[in-house]
Structures are given as C-alpha cells and as structure tokens.
Structure 1
Amino acid sequence: MRIIIIGSVAAGTSVAAKARRNNIDNEIVIYEKDRDISYSVCGLPYYIGEEYISRENLNPRNPEWFKKRFAIDIKTEHEVIGIDADKKELGIKDLQTGTTFHDSYDILVLATGAAPVKPDIKGLEGNNVFIVRNITSADKIKEHIEKEHPASAVIIGSGFIGMEIAENLVKKGIQIAVVEALGQVMPSYDPEMSLRIKKELIENKVQVFSGEKVVKVDDENKSVLTDTGRMLPADMVILSTGVKPAVDLAKQAGIELGTTGAIKVDTKMETSIKGIYAVGDCSESYFLIDGNPCYRPMGSTANKTGRIAGDVITGGDLEFRGILGTGIVKVFDLTCGQTGYTEKEARRAGYDVEIIHNIKPNQTEYFEGSSEMIIKAVADRATQKLLGVQIIGKKGVDKRIDIFATAITFGAKAGDLSHLDLAYAPPYSTTKDPVMYTGMILDNALNRGRKIITAQELIADRMKYTVIDVRSNKDFAKGHIEGAVNIPLGDLKEKVRELSQNESIVVHCNKGVTGNAAQNMLINLGFTKVYNLSGGYKEFKVENQ
C-alpha cells in the first residue's frame, strides 16, 4: 500500500511514524513545500528571544533521519498543487527546479496545517513586517534584529504567539506596543481574567491598545497608524492575528468542510472522501463535553490526531475523542492556563452556568516564594458537571489546569473535585489543594444553598443588594465597595439584627473564605437571600476598574 502525506510538521510526521510502527511494508511518502520538517512551532518565540535555543533544538530531525529510522521518504520543497480523488493522483511541483509531475496513492493524508490571517492593513508588504509561522520566518526576525537593532516594535494581535513574542522582544531591549482589535488582550480568556494579563504586560513596560485596529504600516517612517488616529513608532511589525485552516487543496478536491471552515472529519480522521484523511491544524475538532464542532489549532492536538490517523490507515482502531482546547502560555512572570468552556462560550452554547472565582496559594503560605493563583471555574447547573476552568498565577498553574482537564475528560461533577486524593507536602500544595477548594465552593453553591454572586452581577444590579464587608475596620478603610457596610465577622451576629431576613444581602471578605463564614452565620440566623461575593473584594477591584 502506498501512503502519501501532504505536510511534515507535527501532524504529518506523527501519521508517518505511527503508520510505520504498525506496518513495516507499506510505502510512505511525505511531500512538504517548506525546507524544514518536524519542528516545534510553539518554540519559535523562544528561539527568537533566547540565545541558548538553537535552530537545531527546534528542528532536530531531517529527511535523512526519517529515511534511515523509519524508511519514510520526505520530499521537501515539493508543493502538492492538485488532487484528483477519482484517479487517486496528485499534481506536484518541485519548487527547486520548477518542474511538475504526478504521483499516485492508495491512502492520502492531508496535514496542510494553517495559514496566517492577514487583516486588511495598508503596508503589510513592507520589509519590516513579519509573521511568525515557521523556522524560516523566525530566522528573518532574528536577522532583522541583529542587523537593524530596532528600538521599537508593534505586535498586531494578542493571542498566545503575540504574548510570547512580546516578552521575548522585551528581553532584547525593544519597546513593545500591542494593538488588539478586540476589546481585550488574549481574547480566548474571559474579560476579567484578561485584565490580569493586561496588567502584567503594562508592569513590564509593554503598551497595550485594545479595541483599536492598525490601518496602516508606514515602512518609510517606521510607524503604524490605528483607526483612532494614534501613531505608534514601529521599527518592526509582528503580525499575530491568528490562523485559518489551510484547506485550498481540500476544497479543490471536493472534500467537505465543517461549520468552522476546517476539513470535516469523523472519529477516524477520515474526510467525506473515502481513503482521504485530514489531521492537525487543517482539520476540524469537536468539543469533548458535548460534541459541538470547534477549531482550536494546537500542537498537542496535531500530534494526537496524527497518531490516530496513522493507526487507522494501517488497520488500527484508535478513535478521536475530541478536545477541551486545553492551553497554557507564559506572559512574563504569569502562567495562564485554560481548559474547556469559558463563561462566554458556555453561555453561548446554552448552558445555565455557575461561576466561581477561587484565589488560593500554590503551596503552603509560610514557604518562601508562595504565590497566589486565581481560578475561575464554570459548571453546568443542570448536570453539575464541570465545563471549564481558567487559571492565572505565577506558580503551580500547569499542575492544576491538567488536573481540571483530566476531571472534565472523565465527566467529573463539581463535587467530585473535593474528593480527589492529591499529593500534599508544604513545598508543593496546601492541605486542601486549590483544585479541591474549587470543588467545595461549587458544591456549596450548587447543592448546599451557599449562593455565589460574581462581581459583574453585583455591579450590574448594585442597588438590589445590601453589601456587608466583613473584613476588619483597618482593611475596610484601605478600600471598599461603594455603599458597603463594614461589620467585621466577630460583630456580625449582634449587628445584623436590624436587617430584614428577606433582604438580599451580599457578604464579602478579601478573597472569599471569611465571606463564606459570614454567609453560613446569616443563613443559620434565618436570612434567606445571602450571597458570597465570588473572589471577594480582591476580585471586585480587578473587575471594577
């Protein structure tokens, strides 16, 4: 059997390696239009910024290695220009010689990846405009920095790559401005979580302009112009405006596309045309929680789907189970992780959601270096299942986001989290891990009458509630919610007698724990409409900027 794979980065080489491990006799050929193969796209920002990361670190394999190790023929700088699905034949152009030829296949796998989204901006053809997409593009950026010594750079877009590029260019002494067309940086996060990322950027001398669009790049005057009339210095410009699935070949072949615009596949990664498969960034995924189609191009998903297709085309029975969109990114000293639905996505999907914010240290607080993280969790009130989590903090985020991803994968309900048997020692966690606390808060809200109100809900309907701040008089004097009544927890039992038990009351402390104690007390005293402010005053301050 002759297997041809189009594309040789993460997904394509994963297909080939798995197919060869399953069967040593099949002929496997990969066509790649680039000259580099099997490289780490996610490592490109660090290759640009860190002197100790070499090209070889990102690109450790070459075609000769694959030929010797797996008997796989990889033909680089060969572009597939057409697919005849009826004849099972490809049209191919040798980019070195310019000649074209045909090749035939028994099984075809599309691993064509994604293409950068290029917004409608004048001047993008300038010599100082760059897109981070492959090693060659990263080489050009490094070369530009070394030769031109730019003092300023504008990054258009603020997704994962944009944030990583910002940090790595700051390390090189370049003044950075980030311009994001949407109303917040890191649009894949909920707005209040994004505010923490924006604050971190500003604290590291990065200018942030959200809700603005770049309309012109002026290469001659080394500047960019936004739609507000703002002129920003730009010795170099980095486009980080996202990607779209590379599906031109698929469309030309008559392969069905999904609702996301990516190639529609089944759980075996097979397309609408029998014998043609699609993997990685060109293929559509579906959400593990509810099966809804989604497009989340990630290196981890590319490797996973590549392995599945490689198994299936050689007689295996692996199936794709869907994704949660689990991702993590470093933004200076912050680590930002997410899995599953955000609040806005869950509401858009039709869920009635319970939202909580949990602020906890990554380890026992008396250990030097202990650092807080903010966990935002989204649960479905109907089933009580966890739908999604976002975490931002300096330490311990990766560990917790992976625990949450595992829990969601296996259909955990909110209350299940508090029963997890997680590792504990003071240098690594608290006796009740932040994951467990998250489950306890959700379970209390869903099942035990301990209602939670978010800062946004309170701000939107402020006059409906009596707000009681149960912190100390000293903390209250430092800052408080406008109109709040300060009754420290120790005085609460005596001083609430003048309040109506049917009054809508919001209690809060600094982060939520003492607020929960106050809520319990009031409920025990017969109050029926008592809410604990999610994340306490600390979260309210972030959201009420």
Structure 2
Amino acid sequence: MKLLIIGSVAAGTSVGAKARRNDESLQITIYDRDQDISYSGCGIPYFVGGEIEDIDTLTPRDAAFFKKRYNIDVKTQHEVESINHQTKTATVLNHLTGERFEDTYDTLVLATGASSIIPPFPGVDAPNVFSVRNVQNAGAIRTYIEQHDPKTVTIVGGGFIGLEMAEQLTYRGIAVTLVERLPQVMPPLDFDMASRVAGHLESKGVRLLLNESVTALTGEGEVTQVELASGKSVATDFVILSVGVKPNTELATQIGVTLGQTGAIAVNPQMQTNVKDVYAVGDVAESFSVITGEAIYRPLGSTANKMGRIAGMVITGEEAAHRGILGTGIFKAFDLTVAQTGLTEKEALAAGYDIEILHNIKPDRPEYMGGKDMVIKAVADRETGRVLGAQIVGPQGVDKRIDVLATAITFKAKAEDLFHLDLAYAPPFSTTKDPVLYTGMALDNAIKKTARLVTPETLVEQTAEEETIQIIDTRSKKQFEKNHVDGAVHIPLGELRTRAAELDPSIPTVVYCNKGVTGNAAQNVLKNLGFTDVCNLSGGNTNYQHLKHCFSKK
C-alpha cells in the first residue's frame, strides 16, 4: 500500500512514524511546500527573544533522519498543487527545480496545517511587517531586529502568540504596543481573568490598545504608522501580525472533503473524512469537546501529534479513536503563568448549563516556603456537580494544578471528587489543603447550598438594581478603611455572634473577608443563628476590588 501524506510538521510526521512502526511494507511519502519539517512553532517567540540561541534547535529532525530511522521519503519544498481522487494521483511542484510531476497513492492524509491570517488592510506587504508561523518567520524577525535595532514594535492580536511575542520583544528592550479589537486580551479566557493578565502586561511596560481595530499600515517603503479605526495612530518601527490562523483546506475542498462548522475539516474519531481513503489530522482538522461533544478548533502541537498517531494506527489496521479535547492551554507572560481548560463561564452559559462559579485565591505552597497567590476560577454544573472548566492565573504552581484539573474533567469528576484526590503534599510543593482540593470543597458546598457563593459581578448588579441586601465586612478595621465593598457594614468575625442582633435574619446577606476563608466562617455563624439566605463573596474583597476596577474600564 502506498501512503501519501501532505504536510510534515507535528501531525504528518506522527502519521508516518506510527504507520511505519506498525507496517514495514508500506511505501510512505511526505510532501511539504516548506523547507523545514517537524519544527517547534511554539518555540518561535523564544528564539526571537533570544532565550533560544540557535534556530536549528527548533528543527531537531530533517528528511535524512526520517529516511534513516523510518524509511520514509520526506520531500521538502515540494508543493502538492492538486489532487485527482478518482485516479488517486497528486500533481506536485518541486520548488527547487520548477519541475511538475504526478505521484500516486492508495491512502491520502491531509496534514496541511494552518496559515497565519493576514488582514486585508493596506501596508501588510511591507518588508517590516511579519507574521509568526514558521521557522522562516522566526529567522526573518530576529534578523530584522539585529540589523535595524528597532526601538518600537506594534503587535496586532492579543492571543497566545501575540502575548508571548510582547514578552520576548520587551525583554529585548523594544517598546511594545499591542492592538486587540476585542475588549480583552486572550479571547479564550473570561473577561475577569483576562483583565488580570492585561494588568500584568501593563505593569511590565506593554501598552495595550483594546477595542481597537487596525485600518491601515502606512509609511514610505516601510511601515512607520499603524492607523486605527478610532482615528488614533501608533508610530512604530515594525509590525507583528498575530490575529490567528486559518486551516489550509484548499486541497481538501478540491476532492469534496467536507468542512465542519469551525471551518476546518470534519473528521470522525478515526480521523477519517467523508471521502474514502482520505484522512485529515493536525491544524487542518477540527476536534470535538470532551464535555459537550460539539466541534471545536484548537490548533496545538500536542493535539496534532495525538491526531497523527491515531490516524497512523487506523491506517495500519489497529483500533484507535480520538477522544476529544478540552482546549487546555498555558502560556507565560513575564513572571505570570496563565492556563485554561474546559469550558469558561461564557462557554458554559452558552452551552445551556446552570453553573456555579468559584474564585479561589490561594498560595501554591505555604508562604513560609515562598508561596504566592494564584487565582483559580472554576466552573461546575449545578445539576450534576460535574466540573466543567477552570482558569488559573498566578506566578507559580499553575501548570501542576491545570493538569490535575484537566485530568479530572476528562474523567468527568464532580466538584466533590476534587476534594478527595490524594495529591502529593510537602511544604516545598503544596499547602496541606492544596488549592485544587479547596476548589473542589468550596464548589461542592456551593452546589449543595451548604455554603452558597455570590460572584462580585452578581453582587455589583444586585446593588446597582437597589435590591434589599445586607453586606458584612468581617475583616479588621484597618482593612475595611482601606477599601471595602460598596454598601458594606463592618462587623469583624470575632464580634459577629454578639452583634448579629444588629442584622435582619430575613434579608439576603452577603459576608466577605479578604479571599474567602474567613467569609465562609462568618457564613456558618449566621446560618447557625437562623439567617436563612447567606452567601459568601467568591474570592473575597481581593477579587471584588479587582473586578470592580476592570469592569469599570470595560
């Protein structure tokens, strides 16, 4: 059997490698129009910034490696221009020689990946405007910096790559302006969590222009101004375009392959398309949510490798199926780590879930061991108790917690299950009640209404609508005088039992402390004294003050 793979980055090479492990008789050929194969696209920002010194480290394997180890013919700078699936032939252009020729196949794998979206505004073709997708882009950006010593850069797009580039270019001493058309950076996050990232970026000197759209890049020969829809303009020495990617589906549509609702190729769990003997893997194919079962598009190297392996297994007769993804992602913004898995609040609501929300602010390990606070926002389904998603922002310990939560969500854990996890504990690594355990406990209590929660956003809405509500600040007098929730009265926890008569037990009551733990204790006191409707403010005053500030800027 002749296996033809189009695309030689993570997914395509994974298909070939797994297929070869299972079957020595296969004739495997991989074509790629690029000159580099199996490269680490996610490492590009760090090469541009100088953390990675040698660009060759981004391309650890070449065509000779695959030929020697797997007996796979990898043809780089060979572009498949068209496919005739009736005759099972592909027309290939050799960019090195200009020669065109035909090749045949029995099974075809589309691993054509995705391309950077290049907005159609004037000036995008200027020599100092760069996209960030492949190794050539990385080399071009770093060469430009080293040759021209630019002082300013404008990054268009506030997603993963845009923020990583902002960090790395700042480290190089270049003043960064980041333009994002949405009211927040990092669209995959909820606004309240994304605003924490935005504040951190600004504290590091990154200038953020949110709710702004680029209309043109202007200048003589090279771009020197970025024109915005608001009428503002930004002076710049060069421009980075990072507005997202689109799947390369042109060859697929030529032969009648169906595209899914995300615009990427629709595949079944075996990575098969609707066309017999045609598979699709990696950034050109859509996946589906572990939680909802709905199609989603999250182009990541980790998912591409997984898809490639599954296709290689199925092609060679092994049983395998893709089980979906959670859209888990993580990145570093200076000394802050940001991670997300599963459904966000807005996604869970859009999917029709009745949700419970918890903001848990806890150190990753004891403060006496250098622990620093992380903010965990967790979302759970009230009906079933199932954890639906989590977002975490913090300086350390985030990666461990997001992976634990991703694993738990994959296996349909309920909030109460998180509390019962037997996680590793020692002071250098965790608190006795790990933030994941506390998240599960507090979420479960809220779902079962033994310790109900109210989010700062809901509380702001309730007070704005002048609902009858009493708000109790249980902190110290000094803390209360520094700042407090609007409309709150000050009754420290130690005085709450004796002063409870000052309150009306029939009125909805909200209690809070700094981060939520003392507020929960106050909640229990009032409930035991006969108060029938008591909520603890999720994340306490710390969370409230942050969200009040960020929503006032929205």
1:360 alignment partner, one of 359, 362, 366: 362
User: How far apart, in 1, do the equivalents of 2:52 and 2:295 lie?
Assistant: 40
2:328 is aligned to 326
1:166 is aligned to 166
User: How far apart, in 2, do the equivalents of 1:417 and 1:62 lie?
Assistant: 44
* 1:482 partner letter: D
Give the CA deviation at 1:500.
Answer: 2.0
SS in 2 for 1:497: helix
Give the CA deviation at 1:52.
Answer: 4.1
SS in 2 for 1:208: strand
User: How far apart, in 2, do the equivalents of 1:230 and 1:159 lie?
Assistant: 22
Task: Give the alignment of 1:4-23 within 5 angstroms.
Answer: 4-23=4-23
> Which segments of 5 or more consecutive residues in structure 2 lack a partner in the other structure?
550-554
Per the normalisation by structure 1, the TM-score is 0.99
Give the CA deviation at 1:502.
Answer: 1.6
SS in 2 for 1:440: helix
CA distances 1:129-153 after superposition (whole Å, capped 9, x unpaired): 0001000011100110011111000
SS in 1 for 2:268: coil
2:267 is aligned to 265
Conserved? CA contact 1:127–1:219, under 8 Å: no
User: How far apart, in 1, do the equivalents of 2:45 and 2:104 lie?
Assistant: 38
Give the CA deviation at 1:386.
Answer: 0.5
1:512 is aligned to 516
1:543 is aligned to 547
1:371 is aligned to 372
CA distances 1:84-115 after superposition (whole Å, capped 9, x unpaired): 11111111111122221111101110001111
User: How far apart, in 1, do the equivalents of 2:97 and 2:341 lie?
Assistant: 46
SS in 2 for 1:444: helix
Give the CA deviation at 1:120.
Answer: 3.2
User: How far apart, in 2, do the equivalents of 1:217 and 1:513 lie?
Assistant: 51
SS in 2 for 1:382: coil
Give the CA deviation at 1:60.
Answer: 0.8
User: How far apart, in 1, do the equivalents of 2:67 and 2:263 lie?
Assistant: 34
2:428 is aligned to 427
* 2:288 partner letter: Y
* 2:434 partner letter: D
User: How far apart, in 1, do the equivalents of 2:244 and 2:299 lie?
Assistant: 10
CA distances 1:344-386 after superposition (whole Å, capped 9, x unpaired): 011111111100000000111111x321100000001111100
User: How far apart, in 2, do the equivalents of 1:263 and 1:135 lie?
Assistant: 25
User: How far apart, in 1, do the equivalents of 2:417 and 2:388 lie?
Assistant: 13
SS in 1 for 2:367: coil
* 1:160 partner letter: F
CA distances 1:413-432 after superposition (whole Å, capped 9, x unpaired): 01000000000000000001
Conserved? CA contact 2:46–2:52, under 8 Å: no
Change (3 A) 1:122 1:259: same
CA distances 1:15-65 after superposition (whole Å, capped 9, x unpaired): 111111111110100000000000001001001112543112110111011
**Identical positions, percent:** 53
SS in 2 for 1:147: helix
1:71 is aligned to 71
* 1:304 partner letter: K
2:90 is aligned to 90
CA RMSD of aligned residues (A): 0.9
2:122 is aligned to 122
Which sits farther off after the overlay, 117-126 or 159-168? 117-126
* 2:164 partner letter: E
User: How far apart, in 2, do the equivalents of 1:400 and 1:305 lie?
Assistant: 25
2:193 is aligned to 193
Task: Give the alignment of 1:429-508 within 5 angstroms.
Answer: 429-462=430-463, 463-464=466-467, 465-508=469-512
CA distances 1:167-195 after superposition (whole Å, capped 9, x unpaired): 11011110000000001011110001011
SS in 2 for 1:19: helix
Per the normalisation by structure 2, the TM-score is 0.97
Conserved? CA contact 2:63–2:73, under 8 Å: yes
Q: Structure 1 residue 525 and structure 2 residue 529: aligned?
A: yes
User: How far apart, in 1, do the equivalents of 2:32 and 2:416 lie?
Assistant: 49
Give the CA deviation at 1:246.
Answer: 1.0
Conserved? CA contact 2:34–2:76, under 8 Å: yes
* 1:330 partner letter: K
Which sits farther off after the overlay, 451-460 or 211-220? 211-220
* 2:375 partner letter: I
2:112 is aligned to 112
User: How far apart, in 2, do the equivalents of 1:383 and 1:86 lie?
Assistant: 50
1:234 alignment partner, one of 228, 236, 240: 236
* 1:329 partner letter: F
* 2:346 partner letter: K
Give the CA deviation at 1:448.
Answer: 4.1
* 1:45 partner letter: P
SS in 1 for 2:141: helix
CA distances 1:204-254 after superposition (whole Å, capped 9, x unpaired): 100001100111112336121111122212101000101111111111111
1:380 is aligned to 381
CA distances 1:257-276 after superposition (whole Å, capped 9, x unpaired): 11111100001000000110
Conserved? CA contact 1:6–1:31, under 8 Å: yes
2:415 is aligned to 414
2:300 is aligned to 298
Conserved? CA contact 1:341–1:387, under 8 Å: yes
1:202 is aligned to 202
User: How far apart, in 1, do the equivalents of 2:393 and 2:121 lie?
Assistant: 33
SS in 1 for 2:502: coil
User: How far apart, in 1, do the equivalents of 2:328 and 2:162 lie?
Assistant: 18
1:396 is aligned to 397
User: How far apart, in 2, do the equivalents of 1:283 and 1:53 lie?
Assistant: 33
Shift >6 Å, 4+ stretches = none
SS in 2 for 1:259: coil
SS in 2 for 1:461: helix
Which sits farther off after the overlay, 312-321 or 213-222? 213-222
2:552 is aligned to none
Conserved? CA contact 2:155–2:176, under 8 Å: yes
